């Protein structure tokens, strides 16, 4: 690959990497995905429970402030990450396979410091903006956003650590710290705060979230250090900073627009209708997120495999793991959609008075998730190959569709309009990406594709 990041294909002097037996790849995907699946289910359940406790503790309006803050922080976290979490997943498997331990160690140190610096800058800028705009908002609103921006460096480093575990093909470990430990600690902290503090508002919840993230970061980083391969402990760090930053910059745009698109509905609803309406919709969004837990579990295993198979020129293997991953993801999404259709209104009611008004938006979001899952994990299919720019363009088209739908529908339909825009955006960009993958890469990654057998197909 050239240093300008225009391509992520192997250099001409690199020997092709051998393609592992396809049955072995299939077993790795299923075994890894099943373990990550269980962790993802538990983590998503704990996360939903934590949000339910938050809503019950602080009420609909304060929960809306927290939801709006965390939506903004999630987008700015991708800005501060500068694509380096995906860059780790993209480059590290190849370095490990080539036994380039100096580059492995250099990637951890160099990228970690770079992301820490960018996250501090973004946090400072965010606090300055809040200070300038805070006059029109309450003290609780300002304090919540200040705390949110202060936790940015913690969240980005946790994401870096998780990416390292993923690149080392430790899908279960990845989920234990980022998806399981974090909400578990948050629940404990919320319980302590509820018993000991008289103040129950959005800033209190934000402090608990920041502390839970810090505990998870310390645990994940300690595990990563202890499990570091012996061959790489004494290796002298080698840095390809220009290459990492260049490719990461392209991947960053894709990450930002994907997360921005995923959070845009919350931000637009808050801007148009206010934070009171954000609370129930955010609760519905967290519930609908259960439909993606199978997809997320598969992706933890699938992303390094995609990069590995693409570098090896094994397009048949690439299609095989992609199709199997898509089918596992769809099965999980359909199961969750069926449950929520039956019991969704009751579960939303557990969050507090007025939250069950988001039942229809919940169903719309689930429909969009199920349809989009049918296309397969096309985002990683593009970002792990050389087509991250095209992926970014497709997501931008979806975001534009979301904005148009929100402007037209939210003033009339409220949260239902926001849900329609979010579902439409997801289906549009993933549909465009699926079409590109099938025509340009010659791969059918959807649930309708067929796992291929036989040797590698040259690109």
> Is residue 14 a part of any domain in this protein?
no
Range among 367-371, 392-396, 406-410, 446-450 with highest mean pLDDT value: 367-371
Domain of 139 in residue numbering reads as 22-441
Residue of higher predicted confidence among 326 and 273? 326
Q: Which of 148, 158, 143, 88 is nearest to 122 (CA)?
A: 148
If one counts the domains in the chain, the total is 1
**How far apart (Å, rounded) are the C-alpha atoms in residues 68 and 198?**
24
The pLDDT value recorded for residue 254 is 64
The pLDDT value recorded for residue 363 is 94
The pLDDT value recorded for residue 19 is 44
Quote the mean pLDDT of the chain. 79
> Is residue 50 a part of any domain in this protein?
yes
- Predicted confidence band of residue 146 (pLDDT cuts 50, 70, 90): very high
**How far apart (Å, rounded) are the C-alpha atoms in residues 54 and 71?**
16
The pLDDT value recorded for residue 261 is 65
- Predicted confidence band of residue 209 (pLDDT cuts 50, 70, 90): very high
> Is residue 338 a part of any domain in this protein?
yes
Is the pLDDT reported for residue 398 higher than 60? yes
Average pLDDT over residues 167-172: 73
Is the pLDDT reported for residue 389 higher than 80? no
The answer to whether 414 and 266 have CB atoms below 8 angstroms apart is no
The answer to whether 451 and 443 have CB atoms below 8 angstroms apart is no
Is the pLDDT reported for residue 97 higher than 90? no
Residue 196 burial by Cβ neighbours in a 10 Å radius (0-12, 13-18, 19+): exposed
Is the pLDDT reported for residue 90 higher than 70? yes
HEC per residue, 256-297:
HHHHHHHHHHHHHHHHHHCHHHHHHHHHHHHHHHHHHHHHHH
The pLDDT value recorded for residue 384 is 63
Residue of higher predicted confidence among 173 and 305? 173
pLDDT in tens, 23-55: 444 454 445 455 666 776 787 788 889 989 999
> Is residue 449 a part of any domain in this protein?
no
The pLDDT value recorded for residue 451 is 64
Average pLDDT over residues 136-149: 88
The pLDDT value recorded for residue 143 is 93
383 is written with which tokens? 């970002």
The pLDDT value recorded for residue 20 is 46
The pLDDT value recorded for residue 309 is 66
Is the pLDDT reported for residue 206 higher than 70? yes
The mean-pLDDT minimum among 191-195, 197-201, 217-221, 357-361 falls in: 197-201
> Is residue 452 a part of any domain in this protein?
no
The pLDDT value recorded for residue 5 is 36
The pLDDT value recorded for residue 228 is 81
- Predicted confidence band of residue 1 (pLDDT cuts 50, 70, 90): very low
The pLDDT value recorded for residue 304 is 61
Residue of higher predicted confidence among 210 and 168? 210
- Predicted confidence band of residue 368 (pLDDT cuts 50, 70, 90): very high
**How far apart (Å, rounded) are the C-alpha atoms in residues 265 and 419?**
7
> Is residue 17 a part of any domain in this protein?
no
Place of tokens 């103040």: 199
Residue of higher predicted confidence among 132 and 66? 66
Write 40-46 long-range contacts (CB < 8 A, 24+): 40/175, 40/179, 40/293, 40/294, 40/296, 40/297, 41/293, 42/179, 42/180, 43/175, 43/178, 43/179, 43/180, 43/182, 43/183, 44/179, 44/289, 44/290, 44/293, 45/290, 46/180, 46/183, 46/184, 46/187
The mean-pLDDT minimum among 310-324, 353-367, 419-433 falls in: 310-324
pTM of the model: 0.71
Is the pLDDT reported for residue 136 higher than 80? no
pLDDT in tens, 243-295: 777 777 766 666 676 676 667 788 888 777 777 788 888 888 888 887 877 67
> Is residue 8 a part of any domain in this protein?
no
Is the pLDDT reported for residue 61 higher than 50? yes
The pLDDT value recorded for residue 456 is 43
> Is residue 456 a part of any domain in this protein?
no
**How far apart (Å, rounded) are the C-alpha atoms in residues 247 and 91?**
10
The pLDDT value recorded for residue 298 is 66
The answer to whether 307 and 90 have CB atoms below 8 angstroms apart is yes
């Amino acid at each position: 690959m050239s240093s300008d990041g225009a391509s992520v294909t192997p250099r001409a002097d690199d020997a092709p990497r051998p393609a592992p037996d396809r049955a072995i790849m299939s077993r790795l995907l299923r075994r890894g995905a099943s373990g990550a699946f269980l962790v993802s289910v538990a983590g998503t359940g704990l996360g939903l429970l934590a949000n339910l406790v938050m809503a019950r503790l602080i009420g609909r309006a304060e929960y809306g402030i927290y939801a709006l803050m965390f939506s903004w922080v999630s987008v700015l976290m991708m800005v501060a990450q500068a694509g380096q979490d995906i860059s780790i997943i993209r480059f590290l498997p190849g370095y490990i396979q080539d036994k380039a331990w100096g580059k492995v160690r250099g990637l951890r140190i160099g990228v970690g410091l770079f992301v820490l610096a960018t996250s501090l800058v973004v946090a400072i800028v965010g606090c300055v903006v809040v200070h300038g705009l805070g006059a029109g908002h309450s003290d609780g609103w300002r304090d919540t956003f200040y705390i949110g921006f202060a936790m940015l460096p913690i969240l980005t480093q946790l994401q870096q650590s998780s990416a390292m575990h993923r690149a080392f093909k430790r899908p279960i470990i990845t989920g234990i710290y980022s998806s399981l430990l974090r909400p578990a600690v948050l629940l404990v902290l919320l319980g302590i705060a509820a018993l000991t503090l008289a103040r129950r508002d959005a800033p209190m919840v934000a402090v608990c979230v920041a502390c839970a993230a810090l505990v998870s970061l310390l645990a994940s980083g300690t595990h990563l250090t202890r499990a570091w391969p012996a061959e790489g402990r004494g290796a002298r760090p080698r840095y390809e900073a220009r290459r990492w930053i260049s490719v990461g910059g392209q991947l960053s745009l894709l990450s930002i627009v994907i997360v921005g698109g995923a959070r845009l509905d919350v931000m637009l609803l808050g801007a148009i209708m206010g934070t009171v309406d954000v609370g129930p919709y955010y609760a519905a969004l967290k519930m609908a997120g259960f439909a993606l837990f199978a997809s997320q579990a598969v992706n933890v295993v699938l992303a390094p495999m995609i990069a590995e198979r693409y570098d090896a020129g094994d397009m048949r293997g690439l299609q095989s793991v992609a199709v199997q991953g898509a089918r596992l993801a769809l099965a999980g999404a359909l199961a969750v959609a069926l449950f929520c259709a039956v019991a969704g209104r009751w579960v939303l009611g557990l969050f507090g008075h007025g939250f069950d008004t988001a039942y229809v938006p919940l169903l719309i979001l689930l429909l969009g998730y199920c349809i989009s899952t049918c296309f397969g994990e096309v985002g990683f299919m593009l970002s792990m190959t050389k087509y991250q720019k095209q992926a970014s363009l497709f997501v931008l088209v979806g975001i534009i569709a979301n904005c148009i739908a929100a402007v037209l529908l939210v003033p009339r339909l409220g949260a239902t309009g926001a849900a329609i825009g979010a579902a439409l955006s997801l289906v549009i960009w993933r549909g465009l990406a699926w079409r590109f993958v099938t025509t340009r890469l010659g791969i059918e990654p959807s649930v309708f594709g067929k796992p291929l057998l036989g040797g590698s197909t040259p690109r």
